[in-house]
Chain A
Amino acid sequence: MKAAPLLQVENLYVRHPVRGQYLEAVQDVSFEIPEAGIVALVGESGSGKTTLAQAILRLQPAASGQVKLNGENLLAMSGPRLREARRSIQAVFQDPFSSLSPRRTVLQTLTEPLLHFRVAGRRKCEQMAAEALQAVDMDESYLQRYPHELSGGQRQRVALARGLVTEPALIIADEPLSALDVPVQARIVELIRSLRKERKIAFLVVSHDLSVVRRLADHVAVMYMGRIVEYGPAQQVLAQAAHPYTQALLKAVALPDPKQPPPRVLDGEPPSPLTPPSGCVFHKRCRDALERCRHQQPPERSVSGSESRPSQHRVKCHLWDD
């Protein structure tokens, strides 16, 4: 029997109460992350990607569904088991300016999780902090610095080092690159890839930037209005996007080459999640919408592949109905 994947999300729902009704922030989301895998979660702001990441971290309660860590339901854990699980899932947030305490040195920031989880004595913890800093290409001289003495890229590397220091199996990174310059982004991308390779750390990268997906992810989940509308191997999804929404996201990117076609604007705004449209949630902005898209929710289908060997590339769109 195959071992359970590192992280398995099954039929997860997250609801926010809003003025007497419920807003479905995450709806029926399922996907998994294998050991040392990198999965990207993309979508516009408000699509529910950050909420999903927070629900996995248990920073927001899930309404129903399961999140399994090594086969065990994370959402049902409590006490010491939860504490242990939290050590193996770490978070890195978007803005390295607000996610690091301005009053703590890099050393204090890095040793805090270790001391919290009582990993070792102070001496040993400080040594581990120095090692984590080395892993992100910063030398020990930075240990005594405060965040304001660091550049944006250095701060993001410290935030990543804090994620690493407890030796987690999974790091959930919410827009880890979007606050950084392109050359700095390239270095962080390299860093994440080497961490995955050398330390077998898996990543869930939340991003609105498709170029990040291209360079980093094995698999990509495209979210729209709280649902995963397309999922599959990253290269395949980018090369042959099956959902009109994914296609629109790709066409909206301004490519750094004047010979490439100009970006195309996706019409309209996402609808209010309090009053989602009937049928397919994307039909009002979709250029290819069919009559049935207005009334019927599209089921999830496999793109390409055959019956005997179904492909991992899946889409929720009526255009793929037989």
Chain B
Amino acid sequence: MTDPTRQAVLSVRDLDVVMHGNGQASRVVRKLCFDLQAGEVLALVGESGCGKSKTAEAIMGLIPQRSGTVSAARIELAGSTIHGLPEAAMRRIRGREISMVFQEPLTALDPVFTCGSQLAVLFRRHRGQGRSEARASSERMLQQVGFADVKRVMRSYPHQLSGGMRQRVIVAMAMACRPQVLIADEPTTALDVTTQAQVLQKLTRLGRDAGTAILLITHDLGIVAQYCDRALVMHDGRIVEESDIGQLFSAPVSDYTRELVAAAQGVSL
């Protein structure tokens, strides 16, 4: 499936994640392999508990050793390994090279700082900009995610914004440093359909403009069909299918994918 002529910006081989808890070990991700190509939107689809979020956490180095073990033959970002890097090195990569958007925008924003200051700090820390320059960059970023009244959003605390507005602030933060990879974990599951369309359009458009490859984790096949180029279908810790979007819906290879597509289309069409 993978096109060897294109450079994979994120390359994962034989990723295994074993979580420890209640005295038992459970293998939640098994021998996972995929390549994320530059500029594409790749869906990681599956039901809850299939291991898709753990995959993202493992790549980002967010699984603490006491709760789980991550092993892999390769996790490479633009050709250099990020697997097993010390925490200090990972910290420089997160937010700058790979950033993440989570499902619940309220927990990802700090309630005691304004949105403007949370955004500006990224430009200052990762891009070394001065105060007023960072402020201007922040305002530009907020414009790009579709805010008309940018000044008001800059002054607002997270609780003063609606869910859709908060998630767009998060998207602005995640894209602030024009990362090579953006991992979005169910970014619109908590939102209304109307705001969902708005957030996903901004997200994919910004990604395209900045050349950021997006790994979009979702259980919603509508989102897969409308916003993604390619999809990985995950079931029980394994990838059971890797297809282009056209093929995924017209001629799915695995039975599991066929079931998922039938269920989704039965619900919505």
Using a CB–CB distance below 8 Å, which chain A residues touch chain B?
A: 44-46, 151-152, 181-186, 189, 208-212, 214-215, 248-249, 252-260, 262-266, 269
Give the chain B neighbours of A182 by CB distance below 8 A.
47, 219-221, 260, 263-264, 267
CA distance A152 to B189 in the complex (A): 15
Whether A254 pairs with B220 at a CB distance below 8 angstroms is yes
Does more than half of chain A's interface fall in helix, strand or loop, or is it mixed? loop
Whether A214 pairs with B268 at a CB distance below 8 angstroms is yes
Whether B197 pairs with A45 at a CB distance below 8 angstroms is no
12 contacts between A and B (CB under 8 A): A45-B162, A46-B162, A181-B48, A182-B221, A182-B267, A186-B263, A186-B266, A189-B267, A249-B194, A252-B193, A255-B226, A256-B221
Give the chain B neighbours of A260 by CB distance below 8 A.
225-226
- In addition to A44-B194, A260-B226, 7 A-B residue pairs with Cβ atoms within 8 Å of each other are A182-B260, A182-B263, A183-B47, A211-B268, A254-B226, A255-B269, A262-B226
Query: B215 an interface residue at 8 Å Cβ cutoff?
Result: no
Interface centre among A46, A210, A211 (most CB of B within 10 A): A211
Smallest CB–CB gap between B248 and chain A, Å?
A: 8
User: Known contacts being A182-B267, A189-B267, is A256 close to B222, with CB within 8 Å?
Assistant: yes
Query: B224 an interface residue at 8 Å Cβ cutoff?
Result: yes
Give the chain A neighbours of B150 by CB distance below 8 A.
none
Give the chain B neighbours of A152 by CB distance below 8 A.
48
Smallest CB–CB gap between B153 and chain A, Å?
A: 11
CA distance A262 to B196 in the complex (A): 13
Whether B245 pairs with A258 at a CB distance below 8 angstroms is yes
Whether B197 pairs with A215 at a CB distance below 8 angstroms is no
Whether B197 pairs with A183 at a CB distance below 8 angstroms is no
Whether A44 pairs with B192 at a CB distance below 8 angstroms is yes
Of chain B, the residue at the smallest CB distance from A180 is B48
Q: Which of B226, B260, B268 contacts A263 (CB 8 A)?
A: B226
Give the chain B neighbours of A208 by CB distance below 8 A.
192-193
Give the chain A neighbours of B194 by CB distance below 8 A.
44, 248-249, 252, 265-266
Interface centre among A151, A185, A249, A253 (most CB of B within 10 A): A253
CA distance A212 to B223 in the complex (A): 16
Query: B265 an interface residue at 8 Å Cβ cutoff?
Result: yes
Smallest CB–CB gap between A256 and chain B, Å?
A: 4
Q: Which of B49, B227, B261 contacts A254 (CB 8 A)?
A: B227
Give the chain A neighbours of B227 by CB distance below 8 A.
254
Interface centre among B165, B192, B225 (most CB of A within 10 A): B192
User: Mask for B182-225, Cβ within 8 A of A = 1, else 0?
Assistant: 00000000001111111011000000000000000001111111
Whether A252 pairs with B48 at a CB distance below 8 angstroms is no
Query: B163 an interface residue at 8 Å Cβ cutoff?
Result: yes
Whether A257 pairs with B249 at a CB distance below 8 angstroms is yes
Using a CB–CB distance below 8 Å, which chain B residues touch chain A?
A: 47-49, 162-165, 192-198, 200-201, 219-227, 245-246, 249, 259-261, 263-269
User: Known contacts being A44-B192, A181-B48, A183-B47, is A255 close to B267, with CB within 8 Å?
Assistant: no
Whether A253 pairs with B163 at a CB distance below 8 angstroms is no
User: Known contacts being A255-B225, A257-B225, is A269 close to B267, with CB within 8 Å?
Assistant: no
User: Known contacts being A209-B193, A263-B226, A265-B201, is A257 close to B269, with CB within 8 Å?
Assistant: yes
CA distance A106 to B263 in the complex (A): 29
User: Known contacts being A152-B48, A252-B193, is A257 close to B265, with CB within 8 Å?
Assistant: yes
Q: Which of B48, B162, B219 contacts A269 (CB 8 A)?
A: B162
CA distance A313 to B49 in the complex (A): 42
CA distance A242 to B266 in the complex (A): 25
Smallest CB–CB gap between B84 and chain A, Å?
A: 33
CA distance A212 to B264 in the complex (A): 11
Whether A254 pairs with B223 at a CB distance below 8 angstroms is yes
User: Known contacts being A181-B47, A181-B219, A182-B219, is A256 close to B197, with CB within 8 Å?
Assistant: no
Whether A215 pairs with B49 at a CB distance below 8 angstroms is no
Give the chain A neighbours of B221 by CB distance below 8 A.
182, 256
User: Known contacts being A254-B197, A257-B225, A262-B226, is A45 close to B192, with CB within 8 Å?
Assistant: yes
CA distance A185 to B263 in the complex (A): 9
Whether B268 pairs with A253 at a CB distance below 8 angstroms is yes
Of chain B, the residue at the smallest CB distance from A262 is B226
CA distance A255 to B198 in the complex (A): 15
Give the chain B neighbours of A183 by CB distance below 8 A.
47, 259-260, 263
Whether B268 pairs with A256 at a CB distance below 8 angstroms is yes
Of chain B, the residue at the smallest CB distance from A245 is B194
CA distance A260 to B268 in the complex (A): 12
CA distance A254 to B269 in the complex (A): 11
Give the chain B neighbours of A211 by CB distance below 8 A.
267-268
Give the chain B neighbours of A151 by CB distance below 8 A.
49
CA distance A215 to B266 in the complex (A): 9
Whether A210 pairs with B249 at a CB distance below 8 angstroms is no
Q: Which of B48, B192, B200, B265 contacts A256 (CB 8 A)?
A: B265
Give the chain B neighbours of A254 by CB distance below 8 A.
193, 196-197, 200, 220, 222-223, 225-227
CA distance A248 to B193 in the complex (A): 10
